[in-house]
Amino acid sequence: MTKAAFRISAALALGLSAVAAYAEDQSVEMLHFWTSGGEAEGVRALQTALGAKGVAWKDAAVAGGTGANAYQVLRSRVASKTPPSGAQMHIQETLVWAREGLLRDLSDLAAKDGWRNSVLPSIQANYEVDGKWIAVPVTMHRSNWLWYNTALLKKVGAEPPKDWEEFNVIAEKLKAVGVTPLALGGQNWQYGDLLENIILAKGGPDFYRKVIAGDEETIKSETMISAFDQLAKLRGYVDAGSPGRDWNLATAMVINGEAAFQIMGDWAKAEFALAGKQPDVDYGCVAAPGTGGGFVWLVDNFAFFDTGNEASRSAQNTLAETVLDPKVQVDFAIKKGSIPVITDFDSSRLDTCGRRSFEDRTSAEDKNGVVPSIFHNAAMPGARTGVFLDVVSEFFVTTSMTSQDAVEALVEGLAQL
């Protein structure tokens, strides 16, 4: 081989190796907390869609329903300068990382792909910090759902309750025939889910927003005391095995006919689907008692860290474009139990509960009834959410704590921030 031929061959080899290295690096390591059976199905839908575009999803799952465990792992990895390509976050957590300047600016990608025209207008303000688009909204969940076992309601001749008074009456009937009325896990955020639904039912969307804002007069009001009174009543409708139970195990109680009701976000629907249950046949899905005109939302986001690698950035961009594709939005929502975050998609592909959620969101938007979840890092910064979590948790497990004690603890805790 001549020297010239050798140089050409070497150059080609180097070029091919560079291409191979780039191809090998076409992957995203995603840290997330989607670990229940139904959630894992959703992840697989994203993996499949991403793989079809030549990018591998490297899974870095951390169990824990609210993401607290995953966020702790994420902070440790960023501190050690080994961040993942991206991470699943709720909006308030995303804002913290963005304000620290640690997330990629996705403004160019957002402009190129027209995110302002496709993403639901009512949530877009959460995605811009200092003029930069900070994350990719993936899917929207609704937390004010009541799930019920149809056979158990028939057993006591009941229809789904429209308000909390009806719920209490049905619960007493269920107890009388030896059925656990309410499936609940013993975790602070699950107690919080109950409370935010009761607050919305008792006070309406404007009252709910004042609670989020920390308005002292609102929090100390008779309406708020009434909300805690109802929460206290729910203690009597929960089985003794509740403490420490995960949310999906509570869902399984409804699936298996061990409990009649569960108040839980629509991620619970994925568990029913995984068990082969049919909506409006084996189980029902309606707005939580008294919240029919409202829609309590939380959005899962993907935030990306700059790994300093162009191939990694390209793979992140491909993932962002993939999750906002209208078909993928619906494919994922079907598996995850959620609804798309975009405005233009084929809603006919959603199942019964999904279409109901989409219709309720549309209706609530017209009535200014769309509000962010207090207990899922959507409505307020973590420190304030923490006050609500501490109070609701103490209240639910401490029977000697009165509703008046609870509202005073909320006011005092918020005042100390």
Alpha-carbon distance of 111 to 316, in angstroms, equals 16
- Cα-based distances in Å from 257 to 179, 250, 254, 260, 264: 9, 11, 5, 7, 17
Residue 64 has what pLDDT? 78
Average pLDDT over residues 12-20: 37
Coil, helix or strand at residue 410: helix
Residue 2 has pLDDT above 60, yes or no: no
Secondary-structure percent of the chain, ordered helix, strand, coil, rounded to 5: 55, 15, 30
**Exposed (0-12), middle (13-18) or buried (19+): which is 10, by Cβ within 10 Å?**
exposed
Residue 134 has what pLDDT? 96
Alpha helices in 52-126 (DSSP H): 68-79, 91-99, 107-113, 115-118
* pLDDT interval class at 10 (50, 70, 90): very low
Q: What would the pLDDT profile of 363-377 be if each residue is shown by its tens digit?
A: 999 999 999 999 999
Place of tokens 């017209």: 366
* pLDDT interval class at 25 (50, 70, 90): low
Q: What percent of the chain has pLDDT over 70?
A: 94
Alpha-carbon distance of 60 to 86, in angstroms, equals 10
Its pTM stands at 0.89
R_g of the chain computed on alpha carbons? 23
Residue 17 has what pLDDT? 37
* pLDDT interval class at 24 (50, 70, 90): low
Alpha-carbon distance of 36 to 42, in angstroms, equals 10
Q: What would the pLDDT profile of 335-347 be if each residue is shown by its tens digit?
A: 999 999 999 999 9
Residue 116 has pLDDT above 70, yes or no: yes
Residue 308 has what pLDDT? 83
Place of tokens 């709720």: 90
Q: What would the pLDDT profile of 136-193 be if each residue is shown by its tens digit?
A: 999 999 999 999 999 999 999 999 999 999 999 999 999 999 999 999 999 999 999 9
Angle at 182 between CA 399 and CA 262, to 5 degrees: 125
Residue 7 has what pLDDT? 39
Q: What would the pLDDT profile of 193-248 be if each residue is shown by its tens digit?
A: 999 999 999 999 999 999 999 999 999 999 999 999 999 999 999 999 999 899 99
Alpha-carbon distance of 357 to 129, in angstroms, equals 29
Residue 26 has what pLDDT? 87
| Residue-wise DSSP of 77-93 | HHHTT---SEEEE-HHH
Q: Evaluate whether 186 touches 234 at the Cβ level (below 8 Å).
A: no
Q: What would the pLDDT profile of 388-414 be if each residue is shown by its tens digit?
A: 999 999 999 999 999 999 999 999 999
Place of tokens 């390509």: 85
Residue 15 has pLDDT above 50, yes or no: no
Q: What would the pLDDT profile of 53-99 be if each residue is shown by its tens digit?
A: 999 999 999 987 678 899 999 999 999 999 999 999 999 999 999 99
Residue 3 has pLDDT above 60, yes or no: no
Residue 355 has pLDDT above 90, yes or no: yes
Residue 12 has pLDDT above 60, yes or no: no
Kindly give, in sequence order, each residue whose CB lies less than 8 Å from that of residue 413, ignoring residues fewer than 6 positions away. Answer: 387, 390, 391
